[in-house]
Amino acid sequence: KILNNYLTLKLYQFHYPFEFIVRAISIRMSLTSITVPTTPFGDQKPGTSGLRKKVAVFMQKHYTENFIQSILDAQKDKTKGCTLIVGGDGRYFTTQSINIIIRIASANAVHKLIIGRRGLLSTPAVSSLIRTHKCLGGIVLTASHNPGGIRNDFGIKYNIENGGPAPDQMTDEIYELTGKIKEYKITPDLDCDFQQPGVQQFEVDGREFVVEVIDPVDDYIQLMKSIFDFKKLSNLLSGTETSPPFNVLLDSMNGVTGVYVKRIFLEELGSNQDSAVHIIPLDNFGEIHPDPNLTYAKELVDKVREDSKFDLGAAFDGDGDRNMIIGKNAFFVTPSDSLAVIANNLDCIPYFQTHGVHGFARSMPTGAAVDRVAQKLNKEMFEVPTGWKYFGNLMDAGRLSLCGEESFGTGSDHIREKDGIWAVLAWLSIIAHKQMSVEEILKEHWKIYGRNYFTRYDYEECESEAANKMMNHLESLIDDKNTVGKNFTSCGKTYVIKQIDNFSYVDPIDNSVAKNQGIRVLFEDGSRLIYRLSGTGSSGATIRVYIDSYEKSETTADAQAILKPLVNIGLEISKLKAFTGREEPTVIT
């Protein structure tokens, strides 16, 4: 083999560049995997969407290797000869993790990895690739909207063969395996470049192992072109002889969507070059917290408010599955309203004209605005726990076309993840069809359906013990016979508790059960208070309080003013300040 490699080098050096020589030799080199003894870590339980920890935790010896091996072991014999997608939002530790994944996958008889160039793939793009290439699944390297950089967060999650996040049963199995792992397999001498597109082949333990590096946008843009009318959108954004350009400002927050925004909006649709900011993916997101809300996307909000030329603003999170929409003068669209408006206008999008509309769904904490659209259009309506994985079964069964979460996630059955770019293209399609502004579309919607006033208070990085005590206190109210019928008054408004429970969900497709999904306090007038501990943080506990109130008559009153009485009552019922010591939330949405 050594002689063969030497003769090959001598033959090729006269005809081919150095890069090809290296690749030619790598094809012929026979690599051998080894087994490395290890011990379990006790903190590798995936949350709502994968395992998220500080970078320093993932950098511990064997830590990442253990988790990747456990993901593969959970697939049992399916990994032999399979293809997996690998990519993420480009945050710090992505490169190191992909090298680990390549070496462990090769040693575990995986046949092929498809990797985004430079390790970049948005979460929606991963879902699309899994489905397009009919892969076993994909490993997504992201902590979504959490901050990045060496001092901050990293994450790993597994998506299954339908393109969606692994269901509870699989994540529980992965966690169980991390607690018993004694060894992992790895090919230590396998070096693979994934900075440029191309195919590399290796021989590992006598088996062929292939790494294909792809452009992260190509597959996804073809999918978007099959859903939306790009010519119509181009006319809207770039303008025509009879209409001026519709000016947008898109903020990728230095996350992975930058490469998608550049290609789709600037190149394909002809939007102005100054319509996109922060489009270069950075491993620390340029010290921006890539969470698209009014607090962390304040720069975008201020710019749209101050510059009247912008007709629409949008921000995306680190991995591209979340979005925030604002109209001219920073008119804010809540995610709950965004979902309801899109649901009411799906006939503006070619994809739904062809495929039809089968049903709607929202996560339990999300405002119930879309419920009224479903009722009017006579469509099935589902309320599921927080986490996109709960929508997948409904989509696969053909009962769900559109869904969303109040945490700035919206998507359809074109993939099995929420999709920020898709949501903006959907809004632009509606605007192009109706020839109305964002604000006009919302006010028209409220006039027809009434308005769900909705806000969310986030108390980030609370002490876990204090947060759990608060939730235990709320749990005790469920069993207290005096809770139902109790009156609470604030700012001259009185609310009467109709029901209090800990939300549980039975999947109508496979009858699987998800329990303890959040404490719900339901009032007689239809208002709601919901309390959850978030599963997306990397340290401490994030308490989320959701406040939802419905008004039948169309109104433009300030949401925070309308909801202030419920906010006060929510703090009184939960005793949040007493348990946590927090006077104010970290983020108000």
Active site residues: 144
Distances, alpha carbon 20 to alpha carbons 2, 3, 193, 488, 578, in Å: 18, 19, 12, 74, 66
Contact 248, 313 (CB under 8 A): yes
Buried b (16+ CB within 10 A) or exposed e, 67-97: bbbbbbbbbeeebeebbbbbbbbbbbbbeeb
**Closest CA relative to residue 451, chosen from 527, 359, 532:** 527
Question: 3-state SS of 405-468?
Answer: ECCCEEEECCCCCCCHHHHHHHHHHHHHHHCCCHHHHHHHHHHHHCEEEEEEEEEEEECHHHHH
- Rounded CA gap, 371 and 380, in Å? 9
Helix axes 218-227, 420-434, angle to 10 degrees: 30
Residues 6+ apart with CB under 8 A from 378: none
d(CA 452, CA 130): 36
Are the beta carbons of 425 and 224 closer than 8 angstroms? yes
Label residues 186-212 b or e (16+ Cβ within 10 Å = b): bbeebebebeeeeebebbbeeeebebb
DSSP per residue over 506-536, as a string? E-TTT--EE----EEEEETTS-EEEEEE-SS
Alpha-carbon distance of 334 to 24, in angstroms, equals 54
- Can you read off the two tokens belonging to residue 175? 């966690």
Neighbours of 423 (CB within 10 A): 27
CB atoms within 10 A of CB 32: 13
Strand partners, 139: 86, 158
**Rounded distance, CA 546 to CA 536, Å?**
16
Q: How far apart are CA 524 and CA 180, in angstroms?
A: 49
- For residues 451 and 368, what is the distance between their CA atoms, to the nearest angstrom? 10
CA atoms within 13 A on the CB side of 396: 17
User: Under a CB-based contact definition with an 8 Å cutoff, are residues 301 and 326 in contact?
Assistant: yes
